[in-house]
Amino acid sequence: MSLIVGIPQERLAGERRVAIEASVIQKLAKLGVQVAIEAGAGQAALIPDSTFTQAGANLVDSAAELYKQAKIIWTVQPPELADIQQLSAGSVLIGTLQPYKYPERVKALRDQGVTSFAMELVPRISRAQAMDVLSSQAAVAGYKAAIMGADLSVRFFPMLTTAAGTIRPAKVIVIGAGVAGLQAIATAKRLGAMVEGYDVRSATKEQVQSLGAKFIELGISAEGAGGYARELTAEEKQQQQAELAKHIATADVLITTAAVPGRPSPKIIPESTVEGMKPGAVIIDLAAEGGGNCSLSQPGQTVMHNDVLIHAPLNVPSQVPVHASEMYAKNLFNFLSPMLKEGQYQPDFNDEVIAGALLTHEGKIMPDAIRQLVEATA
């Protein structure tokens, strides 16, 4: 009997992505794996069921039926408790499971006997780059942030030569030069803006400059583990805010992307900095999922303060669902395929990547920090 990968329709309101793509269905078939997909799973992304069935997937009427058929389940968002309770003991769940946000769902996965892999826990090593869903989805968010900034700005991004004279280009400042920040820089440059970038990791200077942007240097360095930034000390934060404010005062659009894994987003744009910005300036706070980088941001809302527009969108990759889904599905395929041997699921739990992403297995929560969190909230 063929191994089946099941794709349920996403349940979270506003989630438009789907965890599969036609070319990935065909790649799985070549490895002897069948795909079953819940009817309407691609509807929010405007991908009809026929796109998946023509690629070789089988259509299933309900999630309940899907969970009965499939050994392996792929999701974008973590399944709700009602869905977890329908999963069979020994089944395999792969997705962005957000264990720090939903410890009760981690507990349910453990109690249900599900082997689950949280894709955000995949180690940041060279071999795992093709599996890195955080990077692929951050690239989507960074691109979209620049587009949002251009849309909401009261000024043109590019320099324009018109019959009425020359219009100066807008200045865009991007805080955080990770994947999202670099993509925001690249997109803003393509749109013709003057772009400056800042990051507490001095190693990013070369990357920012390679995209044609100016790197803002404040004399503060905060290199952390795994390519992320460490949290700044109180003194460093104060120095950073004071120096950044001088640069931000000149921006037409400010895009913030600073995040620390497993922690609330650092507050690097206080009210005083916003009040020093020019009238009509726009802030795009891409860190809204963690509470936002701006102290005035209201996650999921757009607010105006002192004639500065502050936009704090949630789940930005879902706004570009076709390509975001394609990239996500390819990440999951690259993660699963090394575990497949002659069409069967045979993982090597000693493998660094597989072990790093393993969340629950055989009735246990594997990462110590998450196990302690679940026990503390039980």
In tens, the pLDDT along 288-336 reads 999 999 999 999 999 999 999 999 999 999 999 999 999 999 999 999 9
Domain count, the chain: 2
Residues 111 and 155 in one domain: no
Residues 19 and 93 in one domain: yes
Domain boundary among 271, 298, 314: 314
Domain boundary among 283, 314, 345: 314
Residues 8 and 73 in one domain: yes
Tell me the pLDDT band of 224, cut-offs 50, 70 and 90.
Answer: low
Residues 34 and 77 in one domain: yes
pLDDT reported for residue 194: 98
Kindly report, residue by residue over 127-186, the tens digit of the pLDDT: 999 999 999 999 999 999 999 999 999 999 999 999 999 999 999 999 999 999 999 999
Kindly report, residue by residue over 13-39, the tens digit of the pLDDT: 999 999 999 999 999 999 999 999 999
Residues 300 and 358 in one domain: no
Residues designated as active site: 124, 129, 132, 135, 228
Residues 310 and 330 in one domain: no
**Torsion angle, alpha carbons of 219, 225, 228, 234, to 10:** -50
Whole-Å CA distances, 93 to 146, 165, 230: 34, 59, 31
Tell me the pLDDT band of 230, cut-offs 50, 70 and 90.
Answer: low
Domain boundary among 267, 299, 314: 314
Going by the DSSP 8-state scheme, the letter that residue 90 receives in this structure is T
Residues 144 and 109 in one domain: no
Residues pairing with 58 in the sheet: 36
What's 286's domain CATH number?
3.40.50.720
Residues 242 and 358 in one domain: no
Model-level pTM? 0.93
Residues 143 and 207 in one domain: yes
* Boundaries of domain holding 273: 139-314
Residues 151 and 119 in one domain: no
Assign 95 to helix, strand or coil.
strand
pLDDT reported for residue 148: 98
Residues 153 and 257 in one domain: yes
Residues 252 and 357 in one domain: no
pLDDT reported for residue 200: 85
What's the CA gap between 272 and 84, in Å, rounded?
Answer: 46
Q: Is the pLDDT of residue 262 over 80?
A: no
